[in-house]
Chain A
Amino acid sequence: MNRNDYDNSLARQARRLEEYVKIVYESVFPQVDQLPVKEIWDAQKIFITGCGDSWLAGIAAKPAFESVTKIETNAPRAIDFSRALSNKNLGYSPNTPLVILISYSGTAARVIECAKRASKYGANTIAITNNPNSPLAENCRYCIHVGLPEDGEYQPGLTTYNASMIALFAIALRIGRIRNKITPLEYEDMKKELLSFVSEAQKKVSEYEERAFETALKWKGLKAEDFIGDYGDYATAFFGSAKVIETFGGYTTYDDSEDWCHINYFLADPEKIGRVVINNESSPSYDRMLETINAVKILKSPCMIVSDAKKEAFPETMEVFTTVKPKYFWMNPLIQHIPFDFVAGYIAALKGETGFRADDERYNSDLAKNRLKSGTQILII
Protein backbone atom coordinates (compact mmCIF):
# COMPACT_ATOMS: atom_id res chain seq x y z
CA MET A 1 0.00 0.00 0.00
CA ASN A 2 1.54 3.29 -1.06
CA ARG A 3 1.42 5.99 1.58
CA ASN A 4 1.58 8.72 -1.06
CA ASP A 5 -1.83 7.69 -2.35
CA TYR A 6 -3.33 8.74 0.96
CA ASP A 7 -1.89 12.18 1.35
CA ASN A 8 -4.07 14.50 3.40
CA SER A 9 -4.29 17.97 4.85
CA LEU A 10 -3.10 17.10 8.36
CA ALA A 11 -0.04 15.34 6.94
CA ARG A 12 0.74 18.26 4.66
CA GLN A 13 0.43 20.70 7.56
CA ALA A 14 2.56 18.53 9.86
CA ARG A 15 5.34 18.39 7.28
CA ARG A 16 5.43 22.19 7.28
CA LEU A 17 5.53 22.43 11.07
CA GLU A 18 8.74 24.45 11.30
CA GLU A 19 7.93 26.75 8.39
CA TYR A 20 4.61 27.83 9.88
CA VAL A 21 5.96 28.17 13.40
CA LYS A 22 8.62 30.55 12.07
CA ILE A 23 6.04 32.66 10.24
CA VAL A 24 3.96 33.04 13.38
CA TYR A 25 7.01 33.62 15.56
CA GLU A 26 8.19 36.46 13.30
CA SER A 27 4.72 37.96 13.36
CA VAL A 28 3.78 37.75 17.02
CA PHE A 29 6.91 38.58 19.00
CA PRO A 30 7.24 42.18 17.72
CA GLN A 31 3.52 42.78 18.39
CA VAL A 32 3.69 41.31 21.86
CA ASP A 33 6.66 43.56 22.63
CA GLN A 34 4.32 46.52 22.13
CA LEU A 35 1.84 45.48 24.83
CA PRO A 36 1.85 48.25 27.46
CA VAL A 37 3.88 47.50 30.56
CA LYS A 38 1.46 49.03 33.03
CA GLU A 39 -1.50 46.90 32.02
CA ILE A 40 0.58 43.74 32.04
CA TRP A 41 1.90 44.69 35.46
CA ASP A 42 -1.64 45.10 36.75
CA ALA A 43 -2.70 41.55 35.85
CA GLN A 44 -3.25 39.55 39.03
CA LYS A 45 -4.91 36.64 37.28
CA ILE A 46 -4.93 35.36 33.73
CA PHE A 47 -7.76 33.67 31.85
CA ILE A 48 -7.28 32.09 28.45
CA THR A 49 -10.32 30.99 26.53
CA GLY A 50 -11.57 30.02 23.11
CA CYS A 51 -13.59 27.28 21.47
CA GLY A 52 -12.45 23.85 20.30
CA ASP A 53 -8.75 23.84 19.38
CA SER A 54 -8.39 27.43 20.59
CA TRP A 55 -9.54 26.47 24.07
CA LEU A 56 -7.15 23.54 24.02
CA ALA A 57 -4.29 25.88 23.12
CA GLY A 58 -5.08 27.69 26.37
CA ILE A 59 -4.87 24.46 28.37
CA ALA A 60 -1.66 23.56 26.57
CA ALA A 61 -0.09 26.93 27.39
CA LYS A 62 -1.25 27.06 31.03
CA PRO A 63 1.92 25.38 32.36
CA ALA A 64 4.01 27.89 30.39
CA PHE A 65 2.14 30.81 31.93
CA GLU A 66 2.42 29.38 35.43
CA SER A 67 6.06 28.55 35.04
CA VAL A 68 7.15 31.78 33.37
CA THR A 69 4.81 34.43 34.80
CA LYS A 70 4.08 32.89 38.24
CA ILE A 71 0.57 34.32 37.91
CA GLU A 72 -2.50 32.15 38.54
CA THR A 73 -3.70 31.13 35.10
CA ASN A 74 -6.90 29.37 34.16
CA ALA A 75 -8.24 28.15 30.85
CA PRO A 76 -12.02 27.87 31.28
CA ARG A 77 -14.38 26.71 28.57
CA ALA A 78 -15.72 29.73 26.66
CA ILE A 79 -19.33 29.06 27.71
CA ASP A 80 -18.22 28.79 31.33
CA PHE A 81 -16.29 32.07 31.16
CA SER A 82 -19.14 33.98 29.53
CA ARG A 83 -22.09 32.44 31.34
CA ALA A 84 -21.08 30.61 34.52
CA LEU A 85 -17.93 32.22 35.90
CA SER A 86 -18.57 33.98 39.20
CA ASN A 87 -18.19 37.72 38.82
CA LYS A 88 -15.95 37.63 41.87
CA ASN A 89 -13.22 36.92 39.32
CA LEU A 90 -13.88 40.16 37.47
CA GLY A 91 -13.67 43.87 38.13
CA TYR A 92 -11.92 43.81 41.51
CA SER A 93 -8.80 45.70 40.44
CA PRO A 94 -7.81 47.80 37.41
CA ASN A 95 -6.76 45.96 34.24
CA THR A 96 -7.21 42.59 35.84
CA PRO A 97 -7.68 39.81 35.06
CA LEU A 98 -5.82 39.63 31.79
CA VAL A 99 -8.17 37.77 29.49
CA ILE A 100 -6.69 36.25 26.35
CA LEU A 101 -9.27 35.29 23.75
CA ILE A 102 -8.41 33.04 20.86
CA SER A 103 -10.25 32.64 17.58
CA TYR A 104 -8.49 32.14 14.27
CA SER A 105 -11.30 33.80 12.31
CA GLY A 106 -12.22 36.21 15.10
CA THR A 107 -15.89 35.53 14.47
CA ALA A 108 -16.86 32.84 17.02
CA ALA A 109 -19.89 34.29 18.84
CA ARG A 110 -19.03 32.78 22.22
CA VAL A 111 -15.49 34.15 22.27
CA ILE A 112 -16.77 37.60 21.36
CA GLU A 113 -19.29 37.27 24.18
CA CYS A 114 -16.40 36.47 26.55
CA ALA A 115 -14.50 39.56 25.37
CA LYS A 116 -17.56 41.74 25.95
CA ARG A 117 -18.10 40.37 29.45
CA ALA A 118 -14.45 40.81 30.40
CA SER A 119 -14.38 44.36 28.98
CA LYS A 120 -17.52 45.32 30.85
CA TYR A 121 -15.63 44.69 34.09
CA GLY A 122 -12.53 46.61 33.02
CA ALA A 123 -10.39 43.56 32.42
CA ASN A 124 -7.49 43.77 30.01
CA THR A 125 -8.31 41.82 26.87
CA ILE A 126 -5.99 40.50 24.17
CA ALA A 127 -7.29 38.80 21.05
CA ILE A 128 -5.21 36.19 19.28
CA THR A 129 -6.53 35.91 15.74
CA ASN A 130 -5.57 35.86 12.10
CA ASN A 131 -8.07 38.61 11.38
CA PRO A 132 -7.15 41.93 13.02
CA ASN A 133 -10.35 43.50 11.63
CA SER A 134 -12.63 40.85 13.07
CA PRO A 135 -15.41 41.42 15.63
CA LEU A 136 -13.24 39.71 18.23
CA ALA A 137 -10.33 42.08 17.61
CA GLU A 138 -12.74 45.02 17.73
CA ASN A 139 -14.03 43.89 21.12
CA CYS A 140 -10.58 43.51 22.67
CA ARG A 141 -8.11 46.18 23.77
CA TYR A 142 -5.23 44.58 21.94
CA CYS A 143 -4.91 42.21 19.06
CA ILE A 144 -2.09 39.82 18.26
CA HIS A 145 -2.26 38.92 14.60
CA VAL A 146 -0.75 35.47 14.11
CA GLY A 147 0.15 36.39 10.53
CA LEU A 148 -0.59 33.14 8.73
CA PRO A 149 -0.83 33.52 4.95
CA GLU A 150 -4.51 33.75 4.04
CA ASP A 151 -4.40 31.15 1.29
CA GLY A 152 -2.93 28.38 3.46
CA GLU A 153 -4.40 24.93 4.09
CA TYR A 154 -5.40 25.01 7.74
CA GLN A 155 -8.32 22.59 8.09
CA PRO A 156 -8.47 20.45 10.20
CA GLY A 157 -6.70 22.77 12.57
CA LEU A 158 -3.06 21.97 13.25
CA THR A 159 -1.18 25.02 12.02
CA THR A 160 -3.72 27.31 13.66
CA TYR A 161 -3.41 25.38 16.94
CA ASN A 162 0.34 25.85 16.91
CA ALA A 163 -0.09 29.51 15.95
CA SER A 164 -2.26 30.07 19.02
CA MET A 165 0.32 28.36 21.21
CA ILE A 166 3.22 30.39 19.81
CA ALA A 167 1.29 33.62 20.41
CA LEU A 168 0.47 32.50 23.96
CA PHE A 169 4.09 31.58 24.64
CA ALA A 170 5.16 35.01 23.38
CA ILE A 171 2.71 36.71 25.75
CA ALA A 172 3.83 34.53 28.66
CA LEU A 173 7.48 35.37 28.02
CA ARG A 174 6.73 39.08 27.81
CA ILE A 175 4.82 38.99 31.10
CA GLY A 176 7.53 36.93 32.78
CA ARG A 177 10.19 39.33 31.57
CA ILE A 178 8.32 42.46 32.57
CA ARG A 179 7.50 41.10 36.00
CA ASN A 180 11.07 39.94 36.50
CA LYS A 181 10.06 36.32 36.91
CA ILE A 182 12.52 35.30 34.23
CA THR A 183 15.89 36.94 33.65
CA PRO A 184 16.83 38.60 30.38
CA LEU A 185 19.13 35.64 29.74
CA GLU A 186 16.31 33.14 30.29
CA TYR A 187 14.00 35.23 28.13
CA GLU A 188 16.44 35.20 25.22
CA ASP A 189 17.17 31.53 25.71
CA MET A 190 13.50 30.57 25.78
CA LYS A 191 12.87 32.52 22.60
CA LYS A 192 15.79 30.83 20.90
CA GLU A 193 14.83 27.40 22.23
CA LEU A 194 11.32 27.76 20.82
CA LEU A 195 12.71 27.79 17.30
CA SER A 196 15.51 25.31 17.79
CA PHE A 197 13.14 22.85 19.53
CA VAL A 198 10.71 22.97 16.62
CA SER A 199 13.60 22.69 14.20
CA GLU A 200 14.83 19.52 15.93
CA ALA A 201 11.30 18.15 15.97
CA GLN A 202 10.95 18.82 12.25
CA LYS A 203 13.84 16.40 11.62
CA LYS A 204 11.80 13.59 13.13
CA VAL A 205 8.54 14.36 11.32
CA SER A 206 9.17 11.99 8.43
CA GLU A 207 9.90 9.16 10.86
CA TYR A 208 6.64 9.91 12.72
CA GLU A 209 4.79 9.94 9.42
CA GLU A 210 6.08 6.58 8.30
CA ARG A 211 5.24 4.90 11.61
CA ALA A 212 1.92 6.74 11.93
CA PHE A 213 0.87 5.39 8.54
CA GLU A 214 1.61 1.87 9.77
CA THR A 215 -0.42 2.59 12.90
CA ALA A 216 -3.28 3.97 10.80
CA LEU A 217 -3.36 0.76 8.76
CA LYS A 218 -3.69 -1.25 11.97
CA TRP A 219 -6.15 1.09 13.66
CA LYS A 220 -8.53 1.97 10.85
CA GLY A 221 -10.95 -0.79 11.83
CA LEU A 222 -11.05 0.01 15.54
CA LYS A 223 -14.28 0.96 17.23
CA ALA A 224 -12.94 4.09 18.96
CA GLU A 225 -9.91 6.01 20.11
CA ASP A 226 -9.49 6.86 23.79
CA PHE A 227 -6.99 9.57 24.80
CA ILE A 228 -5.25 10.01 28.14
CA GLY A 229 -3.21 13.04 29.21
CA ASP A 230 -2.69 15.17 32.31
CA TYR A 231 -2.74 18.96 32.72
CA GLY A 232 -0.98 20.56 29.74
CA ASP A 233 -0.81 17.16 28.08
CA TYR A 234 -4.57 16.86 28.54
CA ALA A 235 -4.77 19.42 25.73
CA THR A 236 -2.73 17.14 23.47
CA ALA A 237 -5.02 14.24 24.37
CA PHE A 238 -8.21 16.25 23.78
CA PHE A 239 -6.77 17.68 20.55
CA GLY A 240 -6.12 14.16 19.23
CA SER A 241 -9.68 13.22 20.12
CA ALA A 242 -11.00 16.26 18.22
CA LYS A 243 -8.97 15.25 15.16
CA VAL A 244 -10.62 11.81 15.18
CA ILE A 245 -13.99 13.49 14.87
CA GLU A 246 -12.99 16.19 12.41
CA THR A 247 -11.14 13.89 10.01
CA PHE A 248 -13.14 10.69 9.89
CA GLY A 249 -16.00 11.36 12.31
CA GLY A 250 -15.02 8.47 14.59
CA TYR A 251 -16.07 7.71 18.12
CA THR A 252 -13.63 8.94 20.70
CA THR A 253 -13.26 9.82 24.33
CA TYR A 254 -10.62 11.28 26.66
CA ASP A 255 -9.69 11.62 30.32
CA ASP A 256 -6.79 12.15 32.71
CA SER A 257 -4.59 9.36 34.09
CA GLU A 258 -6.42 9.13 37.41
CA ASP A 259 -10.03 9.36 36.31
CA TRP A 260 -9.37 7.03 33.41
CA CYS A 261 -8.63 4.33 35.99
CA HIS A 262 -11.98 5.04 37.63
CA ILE A 263 -14.14 5.26 34.51
CA ASN A 264 -12.84 4.52 31.00
CA TYR A 265 -10.93 1.48 32.22
CA PHE A 266 -14.34 -0.21 32.25
CA LEU A 267 -15.20 0.45 28.59
CA ALA A 268 -16.36 -2.72 26.90
CA ASP A 269 -14.38 -4.38 24.09
CA PRO A 270 -11.01 -2.93 25.13
CA GLU A 271 -9.25 -4.79 22.31
CA LYS A 272 -11.24 -2.72 19.83
CA ILE A 273 -10.35 0.61 21.41
CA GLY A 274 -7.10 2.33 20.48
CA ARG A 275 -5.55 4.05 23.48
CA VAL A 276 -3.36 7.11 22.97
CA VAL A 277 -1.32 8.19 25.98
CA ILE A 278 0.73 11.35 26.41
CA ASN A 279 3.33 11.00 29.16
CA ASN A 280 6.48 13.03 29.65
CA GLU A 281 9.39 12.32 31.92
CA SER A 282 9.31 15.83 33.37
CA SER A 283 5.61 15.61 34.23
CA PRO A 284 4.79 15.51 37.97
CA SER A 285 2.31 12.73 37.16
CA TYR A 286 4.74 10.63 35.11
CA ASP A 287 4.67 7.77 37.65
CA ARG A 288 0.87 7.78 37.86
CA MET A 289 0.63 7.62 34.09
CA LEU A 290 2.96 4.59 34.10
CA GLU A 291 0.50 2.84 36.40
CA THR A 292 -2.32 3.77 34.04
CA ILE A 293 -0.32 2.46 31.08
CA ASN A 294 0.05 -0.81 32.96
CA ALA A 295 -3.73 -1.01 33.28
CA VAL A 296 -4.03 -0.41 29.52
CA LYS A 297 -1.59 -3.27 29.01
CA ILE A 298 -3.74 -5.61 31.11
CA LEU A 299 -6.73 -4.73 28.93
CA LYS A 300 -4.68 -5.60 25.80
CA SER A 301 -5.83 -2.46 24.02
CA PRO A 302 -3.81 -1.31 21.03
CA CYS A 303 -1.83 1.59 22.45
CA MET A 304 0.38 4.36 21.18
CA ILE A 305 2.41 6.47 23.56
CA VAL A 306 3.77 9.91 22.83
CA SER A 307 6.55 10.80 25.21
CA ASP A 308 9.87 12.55 25.55
CA ALA A 309 11.07 9.52 27.50
CA LYS A 310 12.88 6.59 25.91
CA LYS A 311 10.96 3.69 24.39
CA GLU A 312 12.35 1.33 27.05
CA ALA A 313 10.34 3.12 29.75
CA PHE A 314 7.13 1.59 28.36
CA PRO A 315 5.77 -1.91 27.68
CA GLU A 316 7.23 -3.51 24.56
CA THR A 317 3.82 -4.16 23.06
CA MET A 318 3.09 -0.46 22.76
CA GLU A 319 3.87 1.81 19.87
CA VAL A 320 6.07 4.52 21.39
CA PHE A 321 6.69 7.81 19.60
CA THR A 322 9.64 9.37 21.38
CA THR A 323 9.63 13.08 20.73
CA VAL A 324 12.47 15.59 21.02
CA LYS A 325 12.95 16.63 24.64
CA PRO A 326 12.68 20.40 25.00
CA LYS A 327 14.90 22.37 27.35
CA TYR A 328 11.71 23.86 28.82
CA PHE A 329 9.06 21.22 29.53
CA TRP A 330 6.17 23.52 28.69
CA MET A 331 7.06 23.50 25.00
CA ASN A 332 6.08 19.82 24.64
CA PRO A 333 2.46 20.42 23.57
CA LEU A 334 3.70 22.29 20.52
CA ILE A 335 4.86 19.11 18.79
CA GLN A 336 3.39 16.13 20.61
CA HIS A 337 0.11 16.17 18.75
CA ILE A 338 1.94 15.56 15.47
CA PRO A 339 2.19 11.71 15.63
CA PHE A 340 -1.54 11.28 16.13
CA ASP A 341 -2.35 14.02 13.60
CA PHE A 342 -0.70 11.79 11.02
CA VAL A 343 -2.62 8.74 12.27
CA ALA A 344 -5.96 10.60 12.10
CA GLY A 345 -5.20 12.02 8.67
CA TYR A 346 -4.23 8.65 7.26
CA ILE A 347 -7.16 6.76 8.82
CA ALA A 348 -9.49 9.28 7.19
CA ALA A 349 -7.74 8.91 3.85
CA LEU A 350 -7.73 5.10 4.09
CA LYS A 351 -11.45 5.15 4.83
CA GLY A 352 -12.08 7.66 2.05
CA GLU A 353 -13.63 10.09 4.51
CA THR A 354 -14.03 13.79 3.81
CA GLY A 355 -13.13 16.08 6.68
CA PHE A 356 -15.89 17.84 8.61
CA ARG A 357 -18.51 15.75 6.76
CA ALA A 358 -18.24 18.13 3.80
CA ASP A 359 -19.92 15.57 1.54
CA ASP A 360 -22.99 15.19 3.73
CA GLU A 361 -25.57 17.91 3.16
CA ARG A 362 -27.08 17.53 6.62
CA TYR A 363 -23.86 18.90 8.09
CA ASN A 364 -23.87 21.79 5.65
CA SER A 365 -27.33 23.26 6.03
CA ASP A 366 -27.65 26.96 6.85
CA LEU A 367 -28.48 26.06 10.43
CA ALA A 368 -25.34 23.96 10.71
CA LYS A 369 -23.16 26.53 9.01
CA ASN A 370 -24.32 29.30 11.29
CA ARG A 371 -23.98 27.34 14.51
CA LEU A 372 -20.74 29.03 15.54
CA LYS A 373 -20.97 32.60 14.29
CA SER A 374 -24.58 33.59 14.68
CA GLY A 375 -25.29 32.23 18.16
CA THR A 376 -27.16 34.56 20.48
CA GLN A 377 -24.82 36.59 22.62
CA ILE A 378 -25.82 37.32 26.20
CA LEU A 379 -23.97 39.58 28.58
CA ILE A 380 -24.01 38.19 32.12
CA ILE A 381 -23.31 40.95 34.63
Chain B
Amino acid sequence: MVFIKDFEITTGKNSLDNITASVNEAIKESGILNGIAVVETAHSTAGILMISAYGKEILDDIVKEMRRIIPARINFSHQDAPEDSAGHIKSALFGSSVSLIVKEGKLLCEGKQDVYFAEYDGPRNRTYSVCVNGEKEG
Protein backbone atom coordinates (compact mmCIF):
# COMPACT_ATOMS: atom_id res chain seq x y z
CA MET B 1 0.00 0.00 0.00
CA VAL B 2 0.97 3.64 -0.37
CA PHE B 3 0.42 6.26 2.34
CA ILE B 4 1.14 9.98 1.90
CA LYS B 5 1.13 12.66 4.58
CA ASP B 6 1.83 16.39 4.17
CA PHE B 7 3.49 18.59 6.77
CA GLU B 8 3.94 22.35 7.20
CA ILE B 9 6.95 24.01 8.71
CA THR B 10 8.06 27.60 9.34
CA THR B 11 11.78 27.74 8.80
CA GLY B 12 14.46 30.11 9.97
CA LYS B 13 17.16 31.78 7.91
CA ASN B 14 19.51 29.15 6.43
CA SER B 15 18.14 26.73 8.97
CA LEU B 16 18.24 22.95 9.44
CA ASP B 17 15.14 21.55 11.18
CA ASN B 18 15.04 17.99 12.42
CA ILE B 19 11.87 16.41 10.99
CA THR B 20 12.59 12.78 11.96
CA ALA B 21 9.69 12.74 14.40
CA SER B 22 7.24 13.71 11.69
CA VAL B 23 8.58 10.96 9.40
CA ASN B 24 8.13 8.41 12.20
CA GLU B 25 4.65 9.78 12.79
CA ALA B 26 3.73 9.16 9.14
CA ILE B 27 5.18 5.63 9.24
CA LYS B 28 3.23 4.83 12.38
CA GLU B 29 0.04 6.28 10.97
CA SER B 30 0.47 4.28 7.75
CA GLY B 31 0.71 1.01 9.66
CA ILE B 32 3.40 -0.16 7.24
CA LEU B 33 6.03 -2.39 8.78
CA ASN B 34 8.48 -2.93 5.94
CA GLY B 35 9.04 -0.78 2.89
CA ILE B 36 10.34 2.62 1.81
CA ALA B 37 9.60 6.11 3.09
CA VAL B 38 10.30 8.97 0.70
CA VAL B 39 10.54 12.48 2.17
CA GLU B 40 10.33 15.28 -0.37
CA THR B 41 9.84 19.01 -0.56
CA ALA B 42 8.64 20.71 -3.73
CA HIS B 43 10.29 24.03 -2.90
CA SER B 44 13.22 25.02 -5.10
CA THR B 45 15.26 26.84 -2.46
CA ALA B 46 14.97 24.16 0.23
CA GLY B 47 15.92 20.49 0.52
CA ILE B 48 15.75 17.30 2.56
CA LEU B 49 18.98 15.95 4.02
CA MET B 50 20.13 13.06 6.14
CA ILE B 51 22.58 14.18 8.78
CA SER B 52 24.39 12.47 11.63
CA ALA B 53 22.47 12.44 14.87
CA TYR B 54 25.63 13.10 16.89
CA GLY B 55 26.27 16.69 17.85
CA LYS B 56 24.95 20.14 16.98
CA GLU B 57 28.39 21.19 15.76
CA ILE B 58 27.89 19.05 12.67
CA LEU B 59 24.87 21.12 11.72
CA ASP B 60 26.86 24.32 12.09
CA ASP B 61 29.62 22.86 9.92
CA ILE B 62 27.18 21.86 7.20
CA VAL B 63 25.53 25.29 7.05
CA LYS B 64 28.89 27.04 6.97
CA GLU B 65 30.36 24.68 4.39
CA MET B 66 27.37 25.04 2.10
CA ARG B 67 27.73 28.80 2.25
CA ARG B 68 31.43 28.48 1.51
CA ILE B 69 30.87 26.22 -1.50
CA ILE B 70 27.90 28.15 -2.85
CA PRO B 71 28.04 31.69 -1.47
CA ALA B 72 25.28 34.19 -2.13
CA ARG B 73 26.47 36.33 -5.03
CA ILE B 74 24.98 39.26 -6.85
CA ASN B 75 25.98 38.11 -10.32
CA PHE B 76 23.95 34.94 -10.73
CA SER B 77 21.97 34.90 -13.97
CA HIS B 78 18.83 34.38 -11.93
CA GLN B 79 18.09 37.92 -10.74
CA ASP B 80 16.42 37.31 -7.43
CA ALA B 81 17.78 37.95 -3.96
CA PRO B 82 21.33 36.56 -3.71
CA GLU B 83 20.35 34.06 -0.98
CA ASP B 84 17.47 32.89 -3.12
CA SER B 85 19.63 32.38 -6.22
CA ALA B 86 22.24 30.48 -4.22
CA GLY B 87 19.41 28.48 -2.67
CA HIS B 88 18.32 27.16 -6.06
CA ILE B 89 21.82 25.77 -6.62
CA LYS B 90 22.05 24.26 -3.14
CA SER B 91 18.70 22.60 -3.62
CA ALA B 92 19.73 21.15 -6.98
CA LEU B 93 23.09 19.89 -5.71
CA PHE B 94 22.11 18.57 -2.32
CA GLY B 95 18.71 17.25 -3.29
CA SER B 96 15.16 17.88 -2.31
CA SER B 97 14.20 14.35 -1.32
CA VAL B 98 15.55 11.28 0.51
CA SER B 99 14.49 7.62 0.40
CA LEU B 100 14.61 5.72 3.67
CA ILE B 101 14.25 2.03 4.47
CA VAL B 102 11.48 1.12 6.88
CA LYS B 103 12.11 -2.07 8.80
CA GLU B 104 9.72 -3.47 11.39
CA GLY B 105 7.87 -0.14 11.55
CA LYS B 106 10.99 1.91 12.20
CA LEU B 107 13.54 3.80 10.18
CA LEU B 108 16.62 1.69 9.56
CA CYS B 109 18.80 4.72 10.32
CA GLU B 110 17.13 5.45 13.63
CA GLY B 111 19.53 6.67 16.26
CA LYS B 112 22.39 7.14 13.79
CA GLN B 113 21.06 9.64 11.26
CA ASP B 114 18.21 12.13 11.37
CA VAL B 115 16.12 13.62 8.61
CA TYR B 116 16.40 17.39 8.24
CA PHE B 117 14.49 20.05 6.39
CA ALA B 118 17.14 22.33 4.92
CA GLU B 119 16.17 25.96 4.38
CA TYR B 120 18.49 27.70 1.92
CA ASP B 121 16.81 31.14 2.18
CA GLY B 122 14.13 31.80 4.77
CA PRO B 123 12.45 32.41 7.05
CA ARG B 124 9.55 31.02 5.02
CA ASN B 125 6.42 28.94 5.38
CA ARG B 126 7.24 25.58 3.76
CA THR B 127 5.64 22.19 3.17
CA TYR B 128 7.05 18.70 2.73
CA SER B 129 5.52 15.25 2.28
CA VAL B 130 6.26 11.79 3.50
CA CYS B 131 5.23 8.88 1.24
CA VAL B 132 5.39 5.40 2.79
CA ASN B 133 5.24 2.44 0.40
CA GLY B 134 5.29 -1.16 1.65
CA GLU B 135 3.56 -4.02 3.45
CA LYS B 136 1.22 -3.74 6.39
CA GLU B 137 1.23 -6.25 9.22
CA GLY B 138 -0.42 -9.60 8.44
Direct contact, A vs B (beta carbon within 8 Å): yes
Closest-by-CB residue of B relative to A182 is B81
Closest-by-CB residue of B relative to A177 is B81
Query: Which of A34, A37, A185 makes the CB contact (< 8 A) with B76?
Result: A37
Are A183 and B76 neighbours in the complex by a CB distance under 8 Å? no
With known contacts A37-B80, A177-B81, A178-B81, A183–B75 Cβ distance under 8 A: no
Are B74 and A184 neighbours in the complex by a CB distance under 8 Å? no
Are B82 and A183 neighbours in the complex by a CB distance under 8 Å? no
Closest-by-CB residue of A relative to B119 is A184
Are A37 and B124 neighbours in the complex by a CB distance under 8 Å? no
Chain B's nearest CB lies how many Å from the CB of A101?
22
Are B122 and A184 neighbours in the complex by a CB distance under 8 Å? yes
The B-contacting residues of A in range 22-69, CB under 8 angstroms, are: 33-38, 41
Closest-by-CB residue of A relative to B10 is A185
- Hey, which chain B residues are within 8 Å of A34, CB to CB? 79
A41 to B72, alpha carbons, bound, how many Å?
Answer: 12
Are B125 and A185 neighbours in the complex by a CB distance under 8 Å? yes
Are B123 and A180 neighbours in the complex by a CB distance under 8 Å? no
| B114: Cβ under 8 A from any A Cβ | no
With known contacts A183-B13, A184-B84, A37–B79 Cβ distance under 8 A: yes
Number of interface residues of B (CB under 8 A): 17
Are A184 and B124 neighbours in the complex by a CB distance under 8 Å? yes
- Hey, which chain A residues are within 8 Å of B123, CB to CB? 183-185
| B40: Cβ under 8 A from any A Cβ | no
- Hey, which chain B residues are within 8 Å of A37, CB to CB? 74-76, 79-82, 85
Chain A's nearest CB lies how many Å from the CB of B28?
31
Give the most central of B79, B81, B83: most A CB within 10 Å: B81
- Hey, which chain A residues are within 8 Å of B82, CB to CB? 37, 41, 178, 180
- Hey, which chain B residues are within 8 Å of A185, CB to CB? 10, 122-125
- Hey, which chain A residues are within 8 Å of B79, CB to CB? 33-37
The A-contacting residues of B in range 88-132, CB under 8 angstroms, are: 121-125
Chain A's nearest CB lies how many Å from the CB of B105?
36
- Hey, which chain B residues are within 8 Å of A178, CB to CB? 80-82
Chain A's nearest CB lies how many Å from the CB of B75?
6
Chain A's nearest CB lies how many Å from the CB of B87?
10
- Hey, which chain B residues are within 8 Å of A184, CB to CB? 81, 84, 121-124
A178 to B74, alpha carbons, bound, how many Å?
Answer: 9
- Hey, which chain B residues are within 8 Å of A183, CB to CB? 13, 122-124
Give the most central of A33, A36, A177, A183: most B CB within 10 Å: A183
- Hey, which chain B residues are within 8 Å of A35, CB to CB? 79
Chain B's nearest CB lies how many Å from the CB of A37?
5
Chain B's nearest CB lies how many Å from the CB of A219?
48
- Hey, which chain B residues are within 8 Å of A36, CB to CB? 79
Chain A's nearest CB lies how many Å from the CB of B89?
15
Are A41 and B121 neighbours in the complex by a CB distance under 8 Å? no
A35 to B75, alpha carbons, bound, how many Å?
Answer: 13
A184 to B84, alpha carbons, bound, how many Å?
Answer: 9
Residues of B in contact with A (beta carbons under 8 Å apart): 10, 13, 74-76, 79-85, 121-125
Listed A/B pairs (29) with beta-carbon separation below 8 Å = A33-B79, A34-B79, A35-B79, A37-B74, A37-B75, A37-B76, A37-B79, A37-B80, A37-B82, A37-B85, A38-B75, A41-B82, A177-B81, A178-B80, A178-B81, A178-B82, A180-B81, A183-B13, A183-B122, A183-B123, A183-B124, A184-B81, A184-B84, A184-B122, A184-B123, A184-B124, A185-B123, A185-B124, A185-B125
Closest 7 CB pairs of A and B: A41-B74, A38-B74, A178-B81, A37-B74, A185-B123, A183-B123, A184-B124
Given A38-B75, A185-B125, 8 other A-B contacts at CB below 8 A? A37-B74, A41-B74, A178-B80, A178-B81, A183-B122, A183-B123, A184-B121, A185-B123
